[in-house]
Amino acid sequence: MSFQNPVFIPGPTNIPESLRKACDMPTIDHRSPLFGQILHPAREGVRKVLKSDVAEVFIFPSTGTGGWETALTNTLSPGDKVLAARNGMFSHRWIDMCQRHGLDVQIVETPWGEGLPAARYEEILRADTGHRVKAVLATHNETATGVKSDIAAVRRALEAAGHPALLFVDGVSSIASMDFRFDEWGVDIAVTGSQKGFMLPPGLAIVGFSKKAMDATATAALPRTFFDVRDMEKAYANNAYPYTPAVGLLNGLNESCRMLLDEGLENVFARHRRIANGVRAAVDAWGMTLCAASPDVYSDTVSAIRTPDGFNATDIVTHAAQTYGVAFGVGLGEVAGKVFRIGHLGSLTDVMALSGIATAEMVMADLGLPVRLGSGVAAAQEFYRSNPALSRKDAA
């Protein structure tokens, strides 16, 4: 690997210099008003990024996976029924976590490459007249397959069925990069981490709870200690944590939110969309296809690219690292060896994306795939030329 090249894995993402500096702090008393001046603006910044006026934001020293556990253990009890679709490695892991916590998961098996089946959710919820389902899980962006799902449609399914289940959304690889509307979509718990859209080192689980989710913490009987949001809420009122907070990362998060809000959330989303469109133009020019089944589910943060039958897609990732010092993502689970992934989220420009596309071409040519050097780069260049980043009035 080279420290000078950007990474093209779908998290952790490239860290801007200003955020590296923000994380690099002298020790302060983490039970002092000074700490409060970092903690509270960071929570407020996250709330804005979630597009929420109501979310209670909690930030744990952990990762996205700890955010999943925070959602489950604070609101559910052993044996509770949970509805979840499995359409990739991340939804699979969240289901596995539910099962290991003794929850009864009704799994909707969904082809890898497709989005969440909202219509099927609605059927199941309508049939659940006794309201045994306590929570519906939704992975907004399946990082394994490069598939986004329609969370508003999941909310509509709950409403159409008149069902009171909580809606938990994994937004680890979408929040701060793709449009996410906590309030409008009626999300009860949103989960993310520091190392994807927030462009920070790994180390924080970031969650937002609705009022309804907070109410559920009073009766939830799953064991919880480290991730207990009631302890966290009490400590926050005293500018503190129930234990030692990751002060530098929180300072970074505060700065990251400032950067995102300064750029403007809609501009951030448009930038991700534009960069993703360039990558997709390149994939098209290579004569290859995405794992994502149709354009309406294409992710703007990661593309999983199918390689020809009989070819081991993981070789692309290995060769890119060994020969060019560039990181791409491997295929996971069901699509291991069948896809490689280009992560295009976080601190990225068109120019950086072009370097990743050019590298992927060199790698594929080295490995004997029928990819003409320059073909994908040219397609992306054409796209970026006709949609230049700096023509937007506020991009200068």
Ligand X SMILES: *Cc1c(COP(=O)(O)O)cnc(C)c1O
Please check whether residue 94 is in contact with residue 237, taking contact to mean a CB–CB distance below 8 angstroms.
no
Do you find a cis peptide bond into 10, omega within 30 degrees of 0? no
In the list 13, 52, 63, 239, the residue contacting ligand X (rule: CB under 6 A) is 63
> Which of 209, 210, 212, 176 lies closest to 193 in space, CA to CA?
176
DSSP letters spanning 254-280: HHHHHHHHHH-HHHHHHHHHHHHHHHH
Binding test (CB under 6 A) with ligand X, winner from 74, 75, 139, 177: 139
Size of the site for ligand X (CB under 6 A): 13
Q: Which two tokens stand for residue 27?
A: 């020790």
**CA distance between the termini of the chain:** 32
Q: Is 303 in the site for ligand X (CB under 6 A)?
A: no
Q: How far is the CB of 343 from ligand X (least distance, A)?
A: 10
Tell me if 70 contacts ligand X by CB under 6 A: no
- Give the nearest distance from C-beta 382 to ligand X in angstroms: 30
Regarding 208 and contact with ligand X (CB under 6 A), the answer is: no
> Is the Cα dihedral 192, 195, 200, 203 positive or negative?
positive
Measure the CA–CA gap between 320 and 314, rounded to whole angstroms.
10
Which residue spans within the chain are E strands per DSSP?
56-61, 81-86, 104-109, 133-139, 141-142, 147-148, 166-170, 189-193, 204-209, 302-306, 329-330, 339-343
At 339, list the tokens. Answer: 């896809």
Q: Give min distance, CB of 167 to ligand X, in A.
A: 16
CA atoms within 13 Å, Cβ hemisphere of 129 = 1
Q: Which is nearer to ligand X, 202 or 264 (CB)?
A: 202
* Chain position whose Cβ is nearest to ligand X: 64
Task: Tell me the window of 23-31, 61-69, 177-185, 355-363 that interacts with ligand X (CB under 6 A).
Answer: 61-69
Instruction: Name residues contacting ligand X, limited to 239-298 (CB under 6 A).
Output: none
**Of positions 83, 172, 176, 206, contacts ligand X by CB under 6 A:** 172
* Residue (92 or 274) nearer to ligand X, CB: 92
Contact call for residue 145 and ligand X (CB under 6 A): no
Q: How far apart are CA 329 and CA 176, in angstroms?
A: 20
- Site for ligand X contains 90 (CB under 6 A): yes
Task: Give the range of 41-49, 138-146, 207-215, 384-392 binding ligand X by CB under 6 A.
Answer: 138-146
Cβ proximity to ligand X: between 170 and 361 the closer is: 170
How far is residue 343's CA from residue 327's CA, in Å, rounded to a whole number? Answer: 9
Q: Kindly tell me which residue out of 170, 188, 350, 361 binds ligand X, with binding defined by CB under 6 A.
A: 170
Per-residue CA distances from 4 to 16, 99, 325 (Å): 13, 42, 9
Q: Does 11 bind ligand X (CB under 6 A)?
A: yes
Give the DSSP letter string of 21-41: HHH------TTSHHHHHHHHH
CB of 317 to ligand X, least distance (A): 17
Nearer to ligand X, 186 or 197 (CB): 197
Of 117, 146, 193, 278, the one binding ligand X by CB under 6 A: 193
Exactly one of 70, 87, 173, 251 binds ligand X (CB under 6 A); that residue is 173
Name the residues that contact ligand X, by CB under 6 A.
Answer: 11, 63-65, 90, 139, 141, 143, 170, 172-173, 193, 202
